[in-house]
Amino acid sequence: MKEKEIPLAGKALVKEVCRRIRVARSYWDAHNNAACRRERERALQLYNTLTKEQKDQIPQVLRVWLRYRSEKYFGSTRTPPGKNRKRKPRKKPPL
C-alpha cells in the first residue's frame, strides 16, 4: 500500500516538477508515448500550482518542453490515438 502523500511545498515542489518533466522527456526519447503523456499531465498539474517566482526556478529548457514542444504532440488539437486504425479493406484491381 502507498503511504499517505505529504503535500509538497516550496523547493520540494519545484524539484518534483523538474523531476516529472525529466521523466516525461526520457519516456519521449524512448518513444513511450502513453507513459510520456501520463507524466506530462502530472507535471503540468503540479506546474500550474507554482507561483511566478517558483516557475522561474525551473530551468528554461524544461519549461519550454513542457509548455510548447510537447503541446504540439499532446495538445487538444492533436488527433486522439487510435483514430486511423479502422481502415477500409483494399479492393482488388480487376483482372
Inform me whether the pLDDT recorded for 24 exceeds 50: yes
State how far the Cα of 19 lies from the Cα of 24, in Å rounded to an integer.
Answer: 9
Please provide residue 94's backbone torsions phi and psi, each rounded to the nearest 5 degrees: -70, 145
pLDDT in tens, 35-58: 888 888 888 888 888 889 888 898
What is this structure's pTM? 0.67
Q: To 10 degrees, the CA torsion angle through 36, 59, 11, 40?
A: -10
**What is the residue extent of each domain of the chain?**
11-74
Q: How far apart are CA 21 and CA 44, in angstroms?
A: 8
DSSP3 helix / strand / coil % (the chain, rounded to 5): 60, 0, 40
Residue 11 · residue 58 · CB < 8 Å: no
pLDDT over 70 (residue 72): no
